[in-house]
Structure 1
């Protein structure tokens, strides 16, 4: 079956409380047949899935392109036996799957059994945390970005009430600390590779930047 499956902890859990609104990635089709890509989310009840209703068609020979799938009740249907409400599945995700199914394959959460070729990169989830509606607290910079071992956060001005928080793509907080001077260094060597959101905030305002861990 043509499918990319991930059950790592950073992709499981309650998508609703994490504010996940879409899943995005880069894909290329190196084969001679079209792909009809969908996202499938499996709940803890094994064969019960929430599947995106409309496939994104990637024509044969398509070079790298970015695609996005909305993750909500209006954009997904429930598949599996017995069926479970999409809203319930989104609160208890155990597996995420990217697969090709043009709607003629049963069950609907299975990938095409034909020989297909594709590559995927930069798979991320967009959440309410990534919406750039924050009020700046004063510009800050992060470097190096991307980075393997450390993250330097440099402020343009210092306020002792500021705190530093880092979230993964699902909105899970993986680091929190006080900002004690104009420049703070965080050891990221043990973090998983991927995209993170770095937030500086106080009780009233906050500002967020995107960080990539190699």
Structure 2
């Protein structure tokens, strides 16, 4: 059994597609982070385990889901339909087999519009800074990732905003984890990004990640 944590803020339109594509043996843990569009009810009606996280922030929702999970292996995925849950096995298989401790999905856009050039450039620069800080050669800090639950909890992650995925990689590298990445399709997302979809959100994301890399 694998628990899939889906941080969720107003993703009513995307949730049915995402939850319909879960591989066998995967339980969805949808973390409602203050939705006002009925996302929680939709997720529950489709069979997902739904929990509420009152503290707003991507990292807060991810960590609440991690704490609520019970399966030995936990994966994370955005609930915006930008990634196909059917490809989750690519990310979880190396962890289950013991070949890696943390696996990230390297996004490969299926259309030009799926990943705007300025966000792709920013991601490449972030990957370069991760390599300089940790020595880990990653090409993407994608939102699809998987690791063992108890090991993740032992990392004692503290970021509760957009720096959470980066802190996961940095602390895992510092702990000597075997970190790998596999290619996954990247689709045009449903709606606007809660992190980088606005100028203010982008600025906050840069600040959060800079703080993590400087720690």
TM-score by length of 1: 0.22
More helix by percentage: 2
More strand by percentage: 1
